[in-house]
Amino acid sequence: MKTNQTEIIGDLYNLLLNPATRDWERSLLRAAKLGIDNGANFDDQIAKLEAEFRPLALRNNLTPDVTDFYLKITDDPMAGSSFDLAIHYAKDGPHQARAIFAGGCFWCMVEPFETQPGIISVISGYTGGHMDNPTYEQVLGGYTGHVEAVEIIFDTRVWNYKKLVELYWQLTDPTDAFGQMADRGSSYRPVIFVANEEQRQIAEQSKQDLATSGKYKHPIVTAIEPASTFWPAENFHQQFYQKNPKRYKKLKRSRGQFLSFQRIQNKIWQRVGRKKE
């Protein structure tokens, strides 16, 4: 066990108090902490806890914060340190601006933006709902009204908002109001959240241009809504494509195949429409 015992015990305590921890996870964590508090061997208790969590961890069925804890106690190099959210809470610099997009699962919305020159930060989170500090479980359950989204902080000398919106259209299905690809439900609906009137005008015009382009057989239904509080997601979700490269590649491939097939269908539809004319 490379990790400091005091740090692990602190993590146990925090997870017991964490409202997102499931009851059965909490019961295992409580048993481990009680054992340590009562003088049981620390390494034995943590090894037992790891073995109990392992079957669910292998199937990605632990809650995000417990997943981070599991990675830590197994010395997984993907555990890393907590994602630095300082830039999210800081005031934007003289050449910085923000854009917020929802386009299905946020795991697949980070890498396409973050790997572009001039993108300063991409943060996964929740927005558009009616509850403060929502958890992944609450948002996924549809209890809070939030959608999964990404907050993009960009260098205005390299990017402008219009270019970001154009990239966003390439990553999503703008004809699906009830989710994206295999991700179904209100928390996955596509939304462009605008911070001011300038962003709204750009987004509305871009949406109109897409609708009149004839690229899609069905109406463009992506919503354009005022930006509200953006709540950063749990550490596990940040930069998912780096922490879970194999799983991310499968998700990215599946998403890409769907969008490619959709574009082929739309091209065929366009050609058929022209012939009928």
Q: Active-site residues: which are they?
A: 105
Residues in the chain: 277
Here the tokens at position 40 are: 């049981």
134 contact partners, CB below 8 Å, separation of at least 6: 126, 144, 146, 231
188 contact partners, CB below 8 Å, separation of at least 6: 102, 104, 105, 147, 148, 179, 180
> Tokens 């981070």 correspond to what residue?
68
Pinpoint the alpha helices (H) of 117-179: 136-140, 161-171
54 contact partners, CB below 8 Å, separation of at least 6: none
123 contact partners, CB below 8 Å, separation of at least 6: 83, 85, 88, 150, 151, 153, 230, 232, 233, 238
Distance CA 103, CA 120 (A): 20
Distance CA 83, CA 244 (A): 15
Residue type, 210: L
